Amino acid sequence: MMPTFSRFPSRAAGLACALLAALALAGCSGLPDKPTRATMYDFGPGPTAAVPTTRQAPLPPLALDDVSTPGGALDNMAVLYRLGYADTQQLRPYSQARWSMPPAQLVRQRVREQLGQRRAVFNAGASVALNRSQNAVLPLLLRLDLEEFSHLFSSPTASVGLIRLRATLLEVTPAGEKLVGQRNVIVQRPAPSSDAPGGVQALTAATDAAIAEIDQWLQQTPAR
Q: Is residue 76 part of a domain?
A: yes
Q: How far is CA 65 from the centre of its chain?
A: 18
CATH number of the domain residue 83 falls in: 3.40.50.10610
Contact by Cβ (8 Å): 134, 173? no
Q: Is residue 174 part of a domain?
A: yes
The confidence band for 8, taking pLDDT boundaries of 50, 70 and 90, is: very low
Q: How much is the pLDDT for 21?
A: 55
Q: How many residues does the chain have?
A: 224
According to DSSP, the residues that pair with 164 across neighbouring strands are: 148, 186
Instruction: Judge whether residue 195 has pLDDT over 60.
Output: yes
Spatial distance between the Cα atoms of 27 and 21, rounded to a whole number of angstroms: 10
Q: Is residue 188 part of a domain?
A: yes
Instruction: Judge whether residue 46 has pLDDT over 90.
Output: no
What's the chain's average pLDDT?
84
How many structural domains are present in the chain?
1
Q: How much is the pLDDT for 5?
A: 42
DSSP 93-153: EEEEEEESS-HHHHHHHHHHHHHTTTS-EEEHHHHHHHHHHTT-PPPEEEEEEEEEEEEEE
Q: Is residue 148 part of a domain?
A: yes
The confidence band for 22, taking pLDDT boundaries of 50, 70 and 90, is: low
- Domain that includes residue 105, residue range: 59-220
Q: Is residue 26 part of a domain?
A: no
Contact by Cβ (8 Å): 69, 139? no
The confidence band for 2, taking pLDDT boundaries of 50, 70 and 90, is: very low
